[in-house]
Structure 1
Amino acid sequence: MRHGACMHRVSVSPGFAVLPPSGQRKPWHSDTLQKEGHPAIWKDGKLLEEACRWLNEEIVPTRESPKTWAQAAQSLLTWLDFLEAADIDWRHATKDDLTAYRDAYLGAVSPQTGQEYSPNTVRTRMVYIVNFINFAVEQDWIDSDLRAGSRMLPPRRHRPIDSDALAHIRKGAPPVVEEAAASAVRLNKLLPKAGQDDTVRVLRREELNALLGWAGPRPSERTPEDGGSDRDYIVFALGWAVGLRVQEVADVPVLPFLEMVPNPQFLGEFFKLSVRGKGNKTRPVDVPAWLVIDIQAYIDGERRRALHKRGRNARESQLILNSEHSTRTGRPMTKAAMQALMERACERAGLMMQNERVNPETGEVAVTPVPRFSMHCLRHTYAVMTYHNQIKSEYSNLDAWKYIQEQLGHKSPQTTINTYLKHLSTWADVRQARSLLEVLGR
């Protein structure tokens, strides 16, 4: 792909235009359909009117926030610049070009932040780009397989929009509404899954200890002089010691833990907890007694203080809340906040790796430090640790996989085996223990 100077830009219409050379002012929207405060996209000093029509007819009327309008305009601008750099007319861009755009940004760094683009960012941009493509299909502006079906349409001659006296009211060919809907279904399949990283990364013993060391001692053993956070320890433990997904951690209710009565003499005992997982399906999972004790210490300590700071009568059904030092103190911690917590913990614990990324807008190569692990990696770690502990406890190979499958909520043991079999060597030296806490040597 050839990288050149970006030819498109976004501006916000001032509500009027000055006509050279007379200096006469007239309403901005009389020529551009853009009202005051609406975003507009320019190319080489001229309005890209197709893009402006999309913004004015599809985005502004359905979204209330000017920030959202600007986000939509900037998203489309990245698509137009990507095509410009490859000498591709946006009218003739193909499904392969859209796939290339997605892959280029998923493997790139942002020139603003120096960090790699997240799947969420790329997905958000592509949602707007696909929306524009669907609008363009309805207007019969697109001449490629971005339309529904597998046929490639021959390029047509496009009348310059600034030479058409009826450009501002012309709808082109009859709207191909059904074709646009079919195109949307096909193109939406190209969107990256939000927040998902399918790479299986398992923390080694020393890495997991470093992560937990940053969070501090167990909540049930912590003193006022100790650093760290009870809540952070519990968030991590629900991943590596129970195998929950990050959204499942965010949704865990507090009430069941208030009713559990663990015996400190039997830390290897398990308590059943009903968890709501993918597809809103519930499944029972085993929570070790030692973790129940720590969770109850968190409930009576940090969690209670966060609720009290929020208000005397504040109540929340979720277990994990924002801390007393947060601007959203005492309110449920979100999935995004937990992912950010993991990134922060990896940085502080030295669990980073160097990634080489290419900026698709400039072609420049940058090496940036990124967290080695995500919250989902704790779930992977749980699976591998548990397998070895089950085998050391003389469970059969099939029974070990079956238990992990049920704990993780997979449809079949084969799914679990296929995911983790080649990663078992990470914890191959595990010793027999009553609980994963003992496996970890804590």
Structure 2
Amino acid sequence: MNPTVYRAAQLSNEFPEAKYALPPSFPFIVDDDNLEVDRQALRYLDSTFRRARGSGLKVKRKRTSIHSVDAAAYDLVDFLRYLVRSREAERHDSISKEGGTQESVPRALHDFTIDEVSAYRDELFARVSKQTHETLSDGTCTRRVNRALHYGDWLQRRGILFDFGTLPDDDNILLPGDDQNDVVRPLSEREWHRVRDVLGPLPSKRQHGVDERPTRNRLAAELALATGLRVDEVAKLTIHQIVDLRFDDTAPAHAEVKLRVTQTKRLVARNVYIPMYLVKELHLYIDGERREAMTEATRSWLADKQRQHTILFVNGSDARQHAGKAISADVLSNAFHTACIRAGLTSSVEKIDPVTGEKYLTQLASHRFHDLRHTFAVWKYYSEKESGNSEPWKLIQALLGHKHLSTTMNTYLKVVPGERREVNRRTFYATRRRFNGN
């Protein structure tokens, strides 16, 4: 057995079955050995992530993106592959001990117990990623184990799985949540100056011939630092969102303009605020470097005007046949990672060879693009404090788009000295007044 994630294709409306089809790109699991669809896994993903047939995706009364469904499908297939490996190993051990060759009928993959989920958890903690050569993070282990538990509970509630078992009272299978393990690494002002100089100039400098390097990576990083946008949110911005901003050339550079962002992590729109100087720089990028790239694109892939897009950040004119194409979030992340290394912002990290198990040291960037979001939050905190705002985290929660204030505090208060103690004190007194009627 070889569980693999497949994706639903677009079905033409000419077919009567089209109204029953899965949404395009919706993931489902197939046994690659015989090309049979795992029906239980498909029903699970369908009932968990779709409100009704033909009505799109929906989770817990909130809209969700296809990326969330993808994550669930790949987490589930990882667990199913573990079941295949562990049962194959048990079968070989049984044959070796008995000295025979008779094979037993394999159990279905939707027939598993909570003990197998527990063993899966232990295997995850010891697993070394083939991509990073590091052990999996607590957050990844948490997500995958909880997906297996959720799937088992779903099967049991529908009478498909009878011997799954009940969760233990001591919570020895459930793991701490992702937010508790999020590593916050804000940049210092000196570190930001070093990495921004490597990323490139702002368009105004390039326009006057001071520095002729491309400006896209610098602009994207500066935009994330100024607004707290995630890297994928930056990559999805359009030129219309920038052109439509109210721009006042006589306003102070630090004056802010409101930008409505709709392509967010949970598809819940929120407002962010861009400094006036950065709005001007973005306009210069659109009228300069981006226009040059799109002009180059008309000589190759953009000969067909119908393929033209409005994404803000694109490949530069030096990308030849790929010039003008919309970039992905990975491009921005990789550019920032490379800039950190070139700026000397590195640290020694212990890795593990997944084949030999040998440990070795390597130099990696000390920061990632997402750290710009952390930096925005911490810098905004100190700015609001200096302005007299006694509870800046309520504003930061809204700007970051966190559903719960606890997410903001549990993540970012780790690097703000003394603030957690003050929040706990206020919460204690507020709770006491509420129950004491004061």
Q: Considering the TM-score relative to the shorter chain, is it more than 0.5?
A: yes
CA-atom RMSD in angstroms: 5.1
User: How far did 1:413 drift?
Assistant: 4.2
Is 2:398 aligned against 1:406?
yes
Report the AA paired with residue 94 of structure 1. Answer: E
Q: In structure 2, which of residues 186, 198, 220 is the aligned counterpart of residue 202 of structure 1?
A: 186
Is 2:295 aligned against 1:302?
no
Is 2:261 aligned against 1:275?
yes
User: How far did 1:272 drift?
Assistant: 0.9
Within 2, Cα distance between the matches of 1:208 and 1:292?
20
Q: How does 1:252-401 map to 2 (within 5 A)?
A: 252-259=237-244, 260-276=246-262, 277-311=264-298, 313=305, 315-326=308-319, 328-392=322-386, 394-398=387-391, 400-401=392-393
Within 2, Cα distance between the matches of 1:245 and 1:320?
14
Q: In structure 1, which of residues 201, 204, 213 is the aligned counterpart of residue 197 of structure 2?
A: 213
- SS of equivalent residue, structure 1 residue 229: coil
Q: In structure 1, which of residues 77, 86, 94 is the aligned counterpart of residue 116 of structure 2?
A: 94
Change over 3 Å in CA distance of 1:361–1:387 after alignment to 2:
same
Within 2, Cα distance between the matches of 1:149 and 1:218?
58
1:274–1:283 contact (8 Å) kept in structure 2? yes
Is 2:98 aligned against 1:104?
no
Report the AA paired with residue 411 of structure 2. Answer: T
Q: Which moved more, 1:345-354 or 1:380-389?
A: 345-354
TM score, norm. by length of structure 2: 0.59
TM score, norm. by length of structure 1: 0.58
How high is the sequence identity, in percent, across the aligned residues?
28
Within 1, Cα distance between the matches of 2:181 and 2:194?
22
Q: How does 1:123-142 map to 2 (within 5 A)?
A: none
Within 1, Cα distance between the matches of 2:211 and 2:417?
34
Change over 3 Å in CA distance of 1:284–1:77 after alignment to 2:
closer
Report the AA paired with residue 55 of structure 1. Answer: D
Q: How does 1:148-163 map to 2 (within 5 A)?
A: none
Partner of 1:56: 34
Point out the structure with max Rg over C-alpha.
1
The answer for unaligned runs of 5 or more in structure 2 is 1-29, 39-76, 95-105, 166-172, 419-438
Partner of 2:7: none
Report the AA paired with residue 394 of structure 2. Answer: K
1:246–1:375 contact (8 Å) kept in structure 2? yes
Partner of 1:178: 160
User: How far did 1:376 drift?
Assistant: 1.3
Within 2, Cα distance between the matches of 1:361 and 1:146?
35
1:219–1:233 contact (8 Å) kept in structure 2? no
Change over 3 Å in CA distance of 1:269–1:114 after alignment to 2:
closer
Q: Which has the higher helix share?
A: 2
How many residue pairs get aligned? The number is 321
Change over 3 Å in CA distance of 1:357–1:100 after alignment to 2:
farther
The answer for unaligned runs of 5 or more in structure 1 is 1-51, 61-71, 135-144, 151-175, 184-188, 427-442
User: How far did 1:409 drift?
Assistant: 1.2
Within 2, Cα distance between the matches of 1:249 and 1:375?
11
After superposition, the C-alpha distances for 1:377-423 in whole angstroms (9 at most, x for unaligned) are 1000001111112222x23221x222222211123544423322231
Within 2, Cα distance between the matches of 1:203 and 1:253?
27
Within 2, Cα distance between the matches of 1:147 and 1:361?
36
